[in-house]
Chain A
Amino acid sequence: MKGFATLLWLEYRRSRVWAAALLGSLAFWAWGLEQVTYAMPEEQLGIRAGFLCAAAITGLVALAFMIGRFRSETRQGQYQILLLTPPSGYFHILARFTFALTIGLAYAVAIAGLLWWATGRAGLHLTSLDTAQLLLVCPLYGVGIVMAPLLAWTLLLMVLSSAYRISGTAWIPGTVMVAATPFVLRFLGERLGDVLYRLPGWRLFTGLDAALARIGIERSSEATHAGIVLPQEPLWGMLALATVMLVLAGRIWQEVEA
């Protein structure tokens, strides 16, 4: 446990500038949201939501870069020091993943907070329960289905590339993984689509319809129930995929030569 805590500390020490910059960038996005004043309230909400989508994507890319900085470590030799330490590769991978995911979760909660602020500015006032779901459940769900697999994928790719460095063929697994990603995503999308809503979904934002109606927005007539129902299957599927990729990355770390 002490070893894992030390690896987490090392991650913090290595990446704290990145993490601070990422969390600090939220001030820029908040400032950007504040500048949207020239349209109707519902249009403002749409523009601000788009703005926050851009913030979320930027954060994801920044986190992927943060977690995947193996190249400089390999070149400068710190990777060798890490390989010599007693904790197994699984712990090294898990520490990197845990730190990045924690920063990612904090970032996602902040984005949700900005969305809550933007909805308030548009006159859309959510109930306490809906607000809690927006600030806690939505970030957790988003982190689970997008951020966790993306970060695990990045770790696997970088460890794989580092493992094959000596033979000079790092580009082969790297290229195969990058090239195969769109096909894998399409395959996963189709499979998840087949099983969607087999398990009972999670109903969120049950007060949303009333809140929308108060500002003159009617939901689609096709909506058969109040609020939004989030399917469970993508979450479990993506978490399982992330776990498999983390285990693989840890296993490869064990075999790396330096």
Chain B
Amino acid sequence: MLARLDRVTKRYGRTEGLRELSVEFPAGEVVGVLGLNGSGKTTLLKLLGGLLLPTAGHVTVFNGTPRGNRARSVYLGETDALYSWMTPAEAKRFMAGLYRDFRPERYEELLDAMEVPRRKTKTMSRGERGRLRLAMALAREARLYLLDEPLAGIDLLSREKILGSLVREWRPDATILLSTHEVAEAEGLFERVLLLRGGTLALDTRAETLRESGKSVVTAFREVLG
């Protein structure tokens, strides 16, 4: 098992981000982490990425702690947080210097494929920065990718490029957890769907199972969370 949450609760003061959530993630899945705003998607991904510590329960990644395995997992947050002075070349230096699994050649290919301009991020559009961040993330040969809203606030064409890259770059030994509100656009990617509601798991099912019953992920989303 690549990652596991065992009765995990995360509280922010009096607010509960997650409540006694137990879920497992084996290798080689593309998982859609879906839910309304405040349902706990970001909390789940941050716990797996080691950015948050659980209030109760256990989070295990690669049979260790998420923080102890930061070098082996990729977390792409929803915050548009690159340094404004950074160029794609400097981002490459940053990533290559800190991550052993970073592949510079692959990064260059991704920049070309996603048409990321080679200039400072402060002069890039939000979509261009989003594509750059995704190129930085996907150029790593990790086994666990935690992608939190990589499509948020990004134009349609950029979203298509990002989704296209996710399809091209996925490896059978890697697991991708993708949180997005663009359910209809991304649903073709998902092999498994987690629907969160109020910090708990409302539905955990195979996308194939939904399709066999004549439902789309969007329909299930509406039925369960609507």
Residues on B with C-beta less than 8 A from A7 are 98
Interface pair A5/B12, CB less than 8 Å apart: no
**Chain A residues bordering chain B, tally (CB within 8 A):** 26
Contact between A84 and B90, CB atoms less than 8 A apart: no
B73 to chain A, nearest CB (A): 9
Interface string of B1-45 (1 = CB under 8 A from A): 000000000001100000000000000000000000000000000
| Interface hits, A97-125 → B, CB 8 Å | none
| CA distance in complex: A167, B98 (Å) | 30
Measured between C-beta atoms, what is the minimum distance from B122 to chain A in Å? Answer: 12
Within 8 A of A (CB), among B153-198: none
Tell me if A58 is interfacial: C-beta within 8 Å of chain B: no
Judge whether B97 and A14 touch: CB under 8 Å.
Answer: no
Verify A6–B81 contact, CB threshold 8 A: no
Could you tell me the distance in whole angstroms from the C-beta of A118 to the nearest C-beta in chain B? Answer: 37
Number of A-B contacts (CB under 8 A): 60
Q: Given contacts A9-B93, A167-B13, is CB(A87)–CB(B98) below 8 Å?
A: yes
| Pair A254/B67 contact, Cβ less than 8 Å | yes
Whether B51 contacts A6 by the Cβ 8 Å rule is no
Q: For A8, give the chain B residue with the smallest CB separation.
A: B97
Chain B, Cβ-Cβ closest to A86: B71
B81 touches A84 (CB 8 A): no
B53 interfacial contact with A, CB 8 Å: yes
In the assembled complex, how far is the CB of residue A18 from the closest CB belonging to chain B, in whole angstroms? 13
Main secondary structure, interface of A, reads: helix
CA A1 – CA B83 in complex, angstroms? Answer: 23
CA distance A76 to B90 in the complex (A): 19
Mark contacts of B49-70 with chain A using CB atoms, 8 A cut-off: 1 yes-contact digit, 0 otherwise: 1111100000000000001001
Residues of A within 8 A of B80 (CB): 77
Cβ-neighbour of B49 out of A78, A84, A167, A255 (below 8 A): A84
Chain B residues within an 8 Å CB radius of A257: 51-53
Chain B residues whose CB sits within 8 angstroms of the CB of A84 once the complex forms: 49-51, 70, 75
Most buried by B among A14, A80, A255: A80
In the complex, A81→B75 CA distance in Å?
Answer: 9
Assess whether A193 is interfacial by the CB under 8 Å rule: no
Chain A min CB distance to B80 (Å): 7
Within 8 A of B (CB), among A1-56: 2-3, 5-7, 9-10, 13-14
Does residue A224 face the partner (Cβ distance < 8 Å to B)? no
Chain B residue nearest to A168 (CB atoms) is B13
Nearest residue in B to A4 (C-beta to C-beta)?
B97
**Bound form: Cα–Cα A258–B81 in Å:** 12
Contact, CB under 8 Å: A3 / B97 = yes
Nearest-neighbour CB distance to chain A for B88, whole angstroms, equals 14
In the bound complex, do residue B79 and residue A77 qualify as a contact, i.e. CB atoms below 8 Å apart? yes
> How far, in whole Å, are A9 and B86 apart by their CA atoms in the complex?
12
List, in ascending order, chain B residues with CB within 8 A of A87's CB: 98
Q: How far is the CA of A86 from the CA of B50 in the complex (A)?
A: 11
Q: Are A6 and B98 in contact (CB under 8 A)?
A: yes
* A85 on interface, CB distance cutoff 8 Å: yes
- Most chain A CB neighbours (cut-off 10 Å) among B49, B71, B81: B81
Chain A: minimal CB distance from B17 (Å): 11
Asked whether A10 and B70 contact (CB < 8 A) given A76-B81, A77-B79, A84-B51, the answer is no
Which residues of chain A are near B50, meaning CB under 8 Å?
83-84
| Interface membership of chain B positions 80-99, coded 1 if the CB is closer than 8 angstroms to chain A and 0 otherwise | 11110110001001100111
Q: Are B81 and A81 in contact (CB under 8 A)?
A: yes
- B104: Cβ under 8 A from any A Cβ: no
Binding site for A on B (CB under 8 A): 12-13, 46, 49-53, 67, 70-71, 75, 77, 79-83, 85-86, 90, 93-94, 97-99
Write 22 A-B pairs (CB below 8 A) sorted by A numbering. Answer: A9-B93, A13-B86, A13-B90, A14-B83, A77-B81, A78-B81, A78-B83, A80-B51, A80-B77, A80-B79, A81-B77, A84-B50, A84-B51, A85-B70, A85-B98, A85-B99, A166-B12, A167-B13, A168-B13, A257-B52, A257-B53, A258-B46
9 smallest beta-carbon distances between A and B, as pairs: A6-B97, A77-B81, A77-B79, A86-B71, A85-B98, A258-B51, A257-B52, A78-B81, A86-B70
